[in-house]
Amino acid sequence: MTQDPAELPTDQTPAPAQTRAPGLVELEDVSMRFRRQSVLRGINLTFRRGETVCVIGESGCGKTVLLKLIIGLLRPTTGVVRFDGVDIAKMNPRELVKLRLRFGFLFQGAALFDSLNVYDNVAFGLREHHVCDERKTREIVLARLQEAGLPAGLEYKKPAELSGGQKKRVGLARALALDPEVMLYDEPTTGLDPIMTDVINELILQTQKSHEKAGIVVTHEMKTVQKVADRVVMLYPLSRISRNEPQVIYNGPAEGLDQSPDLRVRQFVRGEAGERLRELAQSRLSEA
Amino acid sequence: MAVATLKPDDEALRKPTTPVHRLGEHVFDVVAEVGDFGFFAIQALVWIVRKRLRWSVLTPIFYEIGVQSVAVVAITGTFIGMVLAVQAHHQFAMMGLATRLGSVINISLVRELGPVLAATMLAGRVGSSMAAELGTMRVTEQIDALTALGTNPIHYLVVPRFLGCLLLIPLLTLMADFMGVIGGAVISTRVMGVDSFAYWKHSRDFVEWLDIVSGVFKSFFFGAAIALISCHRGFNSSAGAEGVGKAATEAFVLSFIVILFLDFVLGLGWNSVYRSIWPENSGLL
């Protein structure tokens, strides 16, 4: 008989890194609801300086929402999100802008501005915030594009002329242009071929090492997890968790994922449908 | 069994139980939408004075709204004048008033048809395009990316479009008026055979500067309404191609209704002001 995953204990073992450095980003009892739909409930997480954390979980479990809460694009329905010990809900608009400049965000579809060419996309933040003159801006933009492994001459192309992998790399260059303290990656390798996936993983790894940034990588690619993660957090969809159970069902080192006592974690790592097939059959029956 | 188990509060939130619940929810949505639009409009107005925009941001948007609309507005204006001449000539000729045609055509054009139809055309051409562009930016997370880069999206995206519509739609209205006057005159004098001297003399006698000003005055409000409604629809576009298409359609339909409403309200207001200054005249409505 298969054991009920909901009854299994959740693994919230602290990672070794947690004892090394103070929390840079902290979420305390955070819940998020969009009208009738609850997306996150009772989330308690800490992200530390110099640490790369992968947030994994099925589609629709609230991974992207978590990133948007951290950068202040969304406000939690309840709970507190702190950056460097300061509650971001209590920040005024000017402080919030300053906070956002300490983050770099690589969006799922890169979110490059269609009307601007690659150069202007990467230079956008530098120009908007008058960080430096045009000569220095050019230096930074070209350096970031080179770091992202993009060929010379690409800077005058429009986003529509780029491939998926190139868009992601331009997005990464844009996110790094303002030299942020924390990098947020939203499914950086989704939709890319295996080679380009590895290229992006390498870039993330290089970025995290060379710039010594904190990194939060939302993904459901286990190769990305294996390559870049110091610690892994697994979220589980609210619609399927049982009463009184935390939505974070794993918070620990990447090496421990395979041996997690929670069946759901092991199934996710191995890519097995497991209980899900039974759930789908049950929901079809109840609909009928 | 590992089947989903919802907490009681989630179950309670699933769906309203009666039609009254649903009606209440709909009313709540409408009120929230109106409040959201008001807040959006106030933010746009505040950001105009709060931070200057770069010319490199303004110029392409002004070009798109102003220069790219010249042809469509000119054609619309010309045809309005020509159609007015064709439709009115027969009736006026029967009463022996064909030479008065110019006054009727031109006063209708500069007071009502020019501003309203130019604004309608621009709501279709510029408003729908703005809603679709901003809607696409919303669903592809470009608006979130702007915010993440420390830029206020209302300042960067809405203010230039608002200024473009506010300043350029009155100019385009003047152009529609001018082309309509030319179109009406050509048809009346060259095709219908109305005496050219009499046509222009009656036009000059009846159409005052204040008539032209009243039309242009209204077009400032039409421009502001088109920009705010279209940008708001785009900002609140739902996901997918259907959501963006819906935002573009809603932008046009709402803009058109608001243009007609504003035309009525501003006409009444202008009339009251005109009568209070020149009580002997009948007004401009």
The identity of residue B212, as a single letter, is: I
A129 in contact with chain B, both atoms CB, cutoff 8 A: yes
Q: Give the domains, in start order, of chain A with CATH numbers.
A: 10-102+182-287 (3.40.50.300), 110-179 (no CATH)
pLDDT band, very low/low/confident/very high, at A213 (cuts 50, 70, 90): confident
Q: What is the mean pLDDT of residues B249-270?
A: 94
Residue of B nearest to A39 (CA): B10
Who among A36, A125, A275 is closest to B150 (CB)?
A125
pLDDT at A17: 41
| The pLDDT of residue A6 is above 50 | no
For chain B, which residues lie within 8 Å of any Cβ of chain A, measuring from their own Cβ? 1-7, 10, 13-15, 54, 60, 136-137, 140-142, 144-152, 156
Element at A38 (helix H, strand E): strand A37-48
d(CA A184, CA A199): 17
Model pLDDT for residues A260-282, shown as the tens digit of each residue? 888 788 888 877 777 777 777 77
Model pLDDT for residues B202-216, shown as the tens digit of each residue? 888 888 888 899 999
| The pLDDT of residue A210 is above 80 | no
Kindly list the distances between the CA atom of residue A44 and the CA atoms of A36, A78, A90, B129, in Å, as whole numbers in the listed order.
22, 12, 19, 43
Q: What is the mean pLDDT of residues A20-43?
A: 82
Q: Which residues of A270-280 are buried (b: 16+ CB within 10 A; e: fewer)?
A: eeeebbeeebe
d(CA B112, CA B116): 6
Residue appearing with tokens 């610690």: A231
Contact A243 B145 (CB under 8 A): no
Q: How much is the ipTM here?
A: 0.83
Alpha-carbon gap: B86 to the closest alpha carbon of chain A (Å): 45
Residue of A nearest to B136 (CA): A114
Residue ranges of alpha helices (H) inside chain A are 63-70, 93-100, 118-128, 134-147, 164-176, 194-211, 222-228, 263-270, 275-287
d(CA A52, CA A225): 10
Chain A interface, mutation test: which of B50, B149, B159, most A Cβ atoms within 10 Å?
Answer: B149
Three-state secondary structure call for residue B15: coil
Distance of CA B233 to the CA centre of its chain: 14
Q: What is the mean pLDDT of residues B40-51?
A: 92
| The pLDDT of residue B168 is above 60 | yes
Burial class of residue B274, CB neighbours in 10 A (0-12, 13-18, 19+): middle
Mean pLDDT lowest among A31-40, A218-227, A263-272: A263-272
pLDDT at B121: 92
Q: What is the mean pLDDT of residues B91-119?
A: 89
d(CA B184, CA B178): 10
pLDDT band, very low/low/confident/very high, at B163 (cuts 50, 70, 90): very high
pLDDT band, very low/low/confident/very high, at A3 (cuts 50, 70, 90): very low
Who among A114, A128, A279 is closest to B150 (CB)?
A128
pLDDT at B6: 43
pLDDT at A15: 43
d(CA B98, CA B106): 14
Q: What is the dihedral of CA A130, A134, A135, A140, to 10 degrees?
A: 60
d(CA A173, CA A170): 5
- Phi, psi angle pair for A106, to nearest 5°: -100, 110
pLDDT band, very low/low/confident/very high, at A130 (cuts 50, 70, 90): confident
Residue appearing with tokens 């941001």: B57
Residues of chain A found within 8 Å of residue B145, distances taken between Cβ atoms: 105, 107, 111-113
A128 in contact with chain B, both atoms CB, cutoff 8 A: yes
pLDDT band, very low/low/confident/very high, at A153 (cuts 50, 70, 90): confident
d(CA A134, CA B62): 25
pLDDT at B11: 52
Distance of CA B86 to the CA centre of its chain: 27
Domain ranges for chain B? 53-277
Strands lying side by side in the sheet with A103-106: A103-106, A182-186, A214-218, A52-56, A231-235, A248-252
| The pLDDT of residue A11 is above 50 | no
Who among A68, A174, A243 is closest to B5 (CB)?
A243
Residue B22 sits at the vertex; the CA angle it makes with B18 and B28, to the nearest 5 degrees, is 140
d(CA B118, CA B251): 16
Burial class of residue B101, CB neighbours in 10 A (0-12, 13-18, 19+): buried
Who among B1, B148, B151 is closest to A4 (CB)?
B1
Residue ranges of alpha helices (H) inside chain B are 8-13, 19-50, 55-65, 70-94, 101-108, 114-122, 128-139, 142-148, 153, 159-186, 196-206, 209-235, 240-277
| The pLDDT of residue B3 is above 50 | no
pLDDT at A7: 37
Contact A129 B5 (CB under 8 A): no
pLDDT at A19: 45
A125 in contact with chain B, both atoms CB, cutoff 8 A: yes
pLDDT at A262: 80
- More confidently predicted of B13 and A100: A100
Three-state secondary structure call for residue A44: strand
Express as a percent the part of chain A with pLDDT over 70.
90
Burial class of residue B210, CB neighbours in 10 A (0-12, 13-18, 19+): middle
**DSSP structural state of residue A61:** S
Q: What is the mean pLDDT of residues A220-229?
A: 88
| The pLDDT of residue A159 is above 80 | yes
The answer to whether the CB of A113 falls within 8 A of the CB of A175 is no
The answer to whether the CB of A54 falls within 8 A of the CB of A228 is yes
Model pLDDT for residues A73-129, shown as the tens digit of each residue? 999 999 999 998 899 988 988 899 999 999 999 999 889 999 999 999 999 999 988
pLDDT at A271: 79
Residue B130 sits at the vertex; the CA angle it makes with B133 and B215, to the nearest 5 degrees, is 175
Mean pLDDT lowest among A29-33, B66-70, B155-159: A29-33
| The pLDDT of residue A21 is above 80 | no
pLDDT at A22: 61
Residue appearing with tokens 């679709």: B132
pLDDT at B13: 55
| The pLDDT of residue A243 is above 70 | no
Residue B258 sits at the vertex; the CA angle it makes with B256 and B264, to the nearest 5 degrees, is 110
The identity of residue B82, as a single letter, is: M
Q: What is the mean pLDDT of residues B238-266?
A: 93
pLDDT band, very low/low/confident/very high, at B10 (cuts 50, 70, 90): low
d(CA A152, CA B72): 41
pLDDT at A258: 80
Q: What is the mean pLDDT of residues A32-43?
A: 85
Contact A73 B148 (CB under 8 A): yes
- Hey, what are A59's tokens? 């589609």
